Structure 1
């Protein structure tokens, strides 16, 4: 496995992203094409296209909603635990000053960079993307959903 960094840290689930969703897209295109091509069964193809679209929408939204909701909660807990391990105190006040994108980005920094980037996030309000780009030694996260 390649070393994780800013350019390659996103993760795909091949059966979902490269098989199921493209298949639904192709079926949707076919259904829309058949609406005009098969006038005799136009209503059937309209219903077919609506069902395929709803399956596509449901697949995207449910997968993302459940997985990301749980992952976001775990990232916040990880931040609080890590903050306590580094600074020896509760992080509630600090965590309230940060946006989620900043908290999520800080998990890619090792402890030595974590302190400096946390300070910048709080005092300079740098974005999560800027935090990620500022990391010199990337701490990989191979358990992402």
Structure 2
């Protein structure tokens, strides 16, 4: 069962292989450039460093794109859930919530969602506080 303590997700290929390897390659390229610098421009090392910078940026961009798409999906899901539970539009509540709050509220069960939304707005709760308030987690194991 998913809960506050175990809801964080890691994607091993991204978090433990690709990202560390690109950082190691970037540092290695930078060290090679510094060692080769003798007053003239070491073009081969510069090319390597440019390639390393590109390789560091690519997984970061891929992650950002995936998370932004996921945020859009969560927003749509919350609009639908709120409408199904209340028969009203979520837009007035949504404007009062930060995206991080909406993402945290996504884990709340239907029984506690509406009350928790109002509590989050009234108390300006942070996402971590919202997650700790959730009694019955709605699991989401498909997140990126």
TM over 0.5: yes
1:11 pairs, out of 9, 12, 31, with 9
Length, aligned pairs only:
142
1:79 aligns to 2:87 (yes or no): no
Write the deviation string for residues 37-60 of structure 1: whole angstroms up to 9, x where unpaired.
445894322321221112211221
2:32 corresponds in structure 1 to 34
2:48 corresponds in structure 1 to 48
Moved over 3 A (4+): 36-43
TM-score (norm 2): 0.86
Q: Which runs of 5+ in 2 are unaligned?
A: none
Q: CA RMSD in A?
A: 2.0
1:143 aligns to 2:138 (yes or no): no
1:99 corresponds in structure 2 to 98
TM-score (norm 1): 0.85
* Alpha-carbon shift at residue 8 of structure 1 (Å): 2.4
For the structure 1 residues 39 and 123, does the alpha-carbon distance in structure 2 shift closer, same or farther, using more than 3 Å as the test?
closer
CA distance in 1, matches of 2:128, 2:4: 9
